[in-house]
């Protein structure tokens, strides 16, 4: 007796498809269930019924010799495939994957030319223009978006869910679309469908009488044609395929990564809404309750943010969503109607509050989990143990953590974060100084776990079986690859912060070698600040950093000697880059307070601003730094301004000089009237053409100042040169030197902390 083939064409992660599929399987259980999924991941199916699985989860199939060859196959609770898997395991029905193994797919494009066409309608040899096959049918139904049409007709509220009624309609629709001569199938699709038919034939030969096939709706016509296509034709398509070894594991997944707008090709528009919808379909038998339930969740979310949302708001929003659905000829509201009702009634028209709803209730901040007892790579197991020991959680949403390194528990967390960063896993990102608590004992981090990092953990296993061992090996390996001083200094500092003392001798040797051979003054200058910070903050981490002092003693004098000559004959882009380097170098010397270093640096700054050919931007910056160090009086600054803005310099050069001099703050122009007077007169005497040329740069210079500074400067401009009231603070009558001397030591200490 020939086998009976039951085709269930579904939309991946479609709640309506999942409900219909589960219903038909319960009414008419098959002898075997074949699911569209890579055959080389089939071994994972046997454990999928473990109660420790909390969707969303995913199968990760990868090439252990080439981690760039990896694919994820996610499942949510509302995924039809997941429901089929759970049903088969509970009912003890044989279950298999039937798609082309990833061991073939990873090298398929390199191993075979385009596959021959298998359907007569596509055998003409012509390659028509590709288009979305659902656009036409969606347009006929009055929808501009085919995704919106599919949800309304098949998946969403009011669609065909009873008695599997949608599957016959879907098959007929797919047959009509695939018979269109304007659709050309890709070689990949044809090979996959040939392999699926081979799996169906193999199941028939084994004697299974009733075979249920769960696959993407688009493939159903190709599989329905199995009796009409010769097995030899499919064998010809698959002939010569080579493969690589693959491994497969279960990993947690997230709604964010399941969402189509986040880059997942087979994703859905609103995973969190689909979960609510599926729950109503599964437990209540219909989707009428989903609207009120979703809006209730939205109201609760807004209440948690201290917004006043009453029951009346929920009732009114529900009515509005239903009215919008009626106007659009929909049986029940979908996610678009719900969002519009929520923003109008619950959010009071605020897009900011709607963004919160989108994050939590449209896409969803949800991360699944897998049973703890499942075998895991040693590094992954050690990492998860370290996370638990530090009392941290792997969450998809952003978390901000402030650490005080004087506390052992906080120090352990910091060490873990730095070790994971050394492994190339950006789970924890250090926030810029200025965000959160400041000081040498404080660190501020942002944590966000993505499912993709599971693959990073597996890949990092090549460095070692524990986080410590892997981070140490990775640090040493990277140290051998790096040659630039700033990168080596950064790696050394990170290794120290990761508490990897075994890596320090080798990295110090590489750093000394690189520093001794260094001729690029830019690199030497850029390396000083991270080196100083490592020295300065080492005590907070209980690190032995005495050996770094010798390298610093070699770099600073050489940098001071060579830096002025590197500032000659630069274009604007190079000068801008070097300005950042000079700022960092100046900051570094300010932190260590070494009198000899400061003297060498001041001599270098004098040479930089006096030598002919220095980039105007950097000459102005050098003069500003000397002024900040109280080495040049304001009167001399005014003379230099007049000199720089004389006929010997172009207006653009003068504007660049001013940009360098005002780097960081324009408060000098407010405190020193003579400086403001020079700038005012120079701008006033510019010719129209020169003013137009200089205006973009001048706007950029003054746009960097704070709002109060710009407002004060505007008042000076309006007042004119004669009425300007800016006063010289250095000559103010209320300047109490003795009182300032009392608090200066404490202020300096606070600034350093």
Once rounded to an integer, what is the mean pLDDT over residues 631-640?
A: 76
What torsion do the CA atoms of 197, 199, 203, 206 make, to the nearest 10 degrees?
A: 120
pLDDT (tens digit, 9 = 90+) per residue, 522-567? 788 888 888 887 776 654 455 556 667 777 887 888 888 888 888 8
Q: Cα angle at 460 between 455 and 462, to 5 degrees?
A: 120
Domain layout of the chain by residue ranges: 4-119+167-172+186-253, 271-363, 378-463
Mind listing the pLDDT tens digit for each residue in 577-630?
888 888 888 888 888 878 888 899 989 998 888 888 888 888 888 888 888 888
- Residue with the bigger pLDDT between 91 and 545: it is 91
Q: What CA–CA distance (Å, rounded) separates 574 from 300?
A: 54
Q: Is the predicted pLDDT of residue 662 greater than 60, yes or no?
A: yes
pLDDT at 387: 94
Q: List pLDDT tens digits, range 183-204.
A: 667 888 899 999 999 999 999 9
Cβ–Cβ under 8 Å, residues 445 and 498: no
527 vs 86 pLDDT, higher one: 86
**CA separation, residue 305 to residues 96, 299, 308 (Å):** 47, 10, 9
User: What pLDDT was estimated at residue 557?
Assistant: 87
- The residue among 114, 97, 239 whose CA lies nearest residue 189 is 114
- Residue in the block written with tokens 């020991």: 389
| Confidence class for position 133, pLDDT limits 50, 70, 90 | low
Structure-token pair, residue 613: 């050919």
**Locus of tokens 């760039």:** 68
**Residue 208 confidence (pLDDT):** 93
Distance CA 666, CA 681 (A): 17
Q: Choose among 333, 335, 274, 322: nearest CA to 16.
A: 274
Is the CB of residue 631 less than 8 Å from the CB of residue 601? Answer: no
Q: What digits encode the pLDDT tens for the residues 327-382?
A: 887 777 888 888 899 989 988 887 778 888 888 888 888 889 999 888 888 898 89
Give the per-residue pLDDT at 170.
85
pLDDT band at 115 (very low <50, low <70, confident <90, very high): very low
Pairing of strands 442-447, 428-430: antiparallel
Whether 408 shows a pLDDT value over 60: the answer reads yes
3 state SS of 43: helix
Most confident of 104-113, 545-554, 628-637, 682-691: 628-637
Query: Is it the case that residue 250 has pLDDT exceeding 70?
Result: yes
Q: How confident is the model at residue 287 (pLDDT cuts 50, 70, 90)?
A: low
The rounded distance, in Å, linking the Cα atoms of 9 and 166 is 9
DSSP code of residue 568: B
Per residue, the 3-state secondary structure of 242-306, as one string, reads CCCCCEEEEEECEHHHHEHHHCCCCCECCHHHHHHHHHHHHHHCCCCCHHHHHHHHHHHHHHHCC
Can you say how many angstroms the Cα of residue 189 is from the centroid of all Cα atoms in its chain? 31
Using one digit for the tens of pLDDT, what is the confidence trace for 201-218?
Answer: 999 999 999 999 999 988
In order, the DSSP letters of 152-191 are IIIISTTSS-GGGHHHHHHHHHHHHHHT-TT----HHHHH
Burial 310-336 (b: 16+ CB within 10 A, else e): eeebbebbbebbbebbeeeebebbbbb
Distance (Å, whole) CA 723 – CA 333: 67
Which residues lie closer than 8 Å to 467 by C-beta, 6 or more apart?
A: 379, 382, 383, 386, 416, 419, 420, 423
Q: Identify the bridge partners of residue 9 per DSSP, sorted by sequence position.
A: 215
Q: What is the pLDDT of residues 53-66, one digit of tens each?
A: 999 999 999 988 88
Mean pLDDT score of the chain: 81
Q: How many residues does the chain have?
A: 753
Q: Are 290 and 280 in contact (CB under 8 A)?
A: yes
């Amino acid at each position: 007796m020939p086998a009976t083939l039951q085709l269930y064409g579904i939309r991946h992660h479609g709640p309506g498809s999942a409900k219909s599929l589960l219903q038909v399987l319960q009414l008419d259980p098959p002898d075997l269930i074949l699911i569209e999924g890579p055959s080389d991941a089939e071994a994972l199916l046997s454990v999928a019924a473990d109660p420790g699985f909390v969707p969303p989860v995913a199968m990760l199939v990868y090439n252990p010799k080439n981690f760039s060859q990896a694919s994820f196959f996610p499942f949510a609770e509302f995924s039809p495939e997941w429901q089929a898997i759970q049903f088969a395991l509970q009912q003890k029905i044989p279950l298999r994957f039937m798609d082309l193994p990833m061991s073939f797919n990873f090298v398929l494009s390199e191993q075979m030319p385009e596959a021959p066409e298998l359907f007569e309608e596509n055998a003409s040899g012509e390659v028509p223009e590709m288009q979305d096959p659902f656009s036409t049918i969606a347009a006929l139904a009055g929808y501009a978006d085919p995704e919106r049409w599919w949800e309304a007709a098949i998946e969403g509220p009011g669609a065909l869910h009873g008695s599997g009624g949608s599957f016959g309609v879907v098959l007929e629709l797919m047959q009509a679309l695939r018979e269109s001569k304007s659709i050309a199938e890709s070689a990949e699709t044809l090979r996959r469908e040939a392999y699926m038919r081979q799996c169906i034939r193999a199941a028939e030969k084994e004697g299974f009488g009733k075979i249920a096939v769960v696959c993407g709706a688009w493939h159903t016509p190709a599989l329905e044609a199995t009796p009409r296509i010769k097995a030899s034709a499919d064998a010809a398509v698959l002939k010569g395929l080579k493969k690589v070894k693959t491994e497969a594991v279960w990993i947690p997944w997230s709604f964010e990564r399941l969402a189509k707008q986040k880059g997942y090709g087979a994703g859905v528009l609103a995973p969190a809404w689909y979960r609510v919808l599926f729950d109503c379909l599964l437990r209540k038998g219909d989707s009428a309750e989903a609207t009120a339930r979703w809006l209730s969740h939205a109201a609760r979310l807004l209440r948690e943010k201290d917004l006043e949302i009453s029951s009346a708001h929920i009732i009114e929003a529900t009515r509005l969503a239903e009215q919008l659905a009626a106007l659009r000829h929909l049986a029940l509201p979908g996610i678009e109607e719900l969002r519009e009702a929520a923003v109008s009634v619950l959010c009071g028209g605020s897009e900011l509050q709607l963004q919160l709803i989108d994050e939590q209730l449209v896409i969803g901040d949800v991360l699944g989990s897998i049973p703890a007892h499942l075998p895991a790579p040693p590094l992954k197991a050690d990492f998860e143990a370290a996370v638990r020991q530090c009392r941290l959680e792997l969450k998809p949403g952003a978390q901000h953590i402030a650490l005080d390194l004087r506390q052992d528990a906080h120090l352990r967390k910091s060490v873990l974060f730095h070790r994971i960063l050394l492994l190339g896993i950006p789970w924890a990102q250090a926030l810029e100084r200025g965000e959160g608590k400041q000081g040498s004992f404080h660190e501020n981090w942002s944590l966000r776990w993505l499912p993709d990092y599971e693959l990073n953990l597996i890949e990092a296993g090549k460095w070692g079986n524990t986080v410590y061992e892997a981070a140490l090996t990775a640090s040493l390996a990277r140290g051998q690859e790096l040659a630039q001083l700033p990168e080596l200094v950064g790696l050394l500092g990170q290794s120290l912060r990761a508490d990897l003392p075994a890596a320090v001798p080798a990295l110090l040797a590489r750093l000394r070698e690189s520093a001794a051979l260094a001729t690029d003054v830019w690199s030497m200058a850029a390396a000083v600040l991270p080196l100083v910070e490592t020295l300065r903050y080492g005590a907070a981490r209980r690190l032995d950093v005495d050996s770094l002092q010798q390298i610093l003693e070699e770099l600073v004098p050489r940098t001071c000697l060579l830096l002025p000559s590197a500032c000659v004959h630069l274009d604007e882009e190079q000068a801008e880059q070097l300005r950042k380097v000079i700022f960092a170098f100046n900051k570094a010397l300010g932190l260590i307070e070494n009198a000899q270093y400061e003297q060498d640096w001041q001599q270098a700054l004098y040479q930089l601003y006096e030598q002919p050919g220095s980039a105007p931007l950097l000459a102005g910056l050098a003069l500003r730094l000397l002024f900040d160090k109280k080495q040049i009086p304001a009167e001399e600054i005014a003379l230099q301004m007049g000199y720089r803005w004389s006929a010997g310099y172009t207006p653009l050069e003068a504007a660049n000089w001013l940009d360098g001099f005002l780097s960081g703050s324009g408060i000098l122009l407010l405190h020193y009237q003579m400086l403001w007077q020079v700038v005012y007169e120079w701008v006033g005497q510019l010719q129209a053409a020169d003013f137009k040329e200089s205006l973009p740069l001048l706007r950029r210079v003054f746009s960097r100042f704070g709002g109060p500074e710009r407002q004060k400067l505007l008042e000076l401009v309006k007042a004119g040169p004669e009425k300007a009231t800016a006063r010289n603070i250095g000559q103010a009558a209320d300047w109490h030197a003795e009182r300032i001397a009392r608090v200066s030591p404490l202020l300096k200490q606070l600034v350093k902390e």
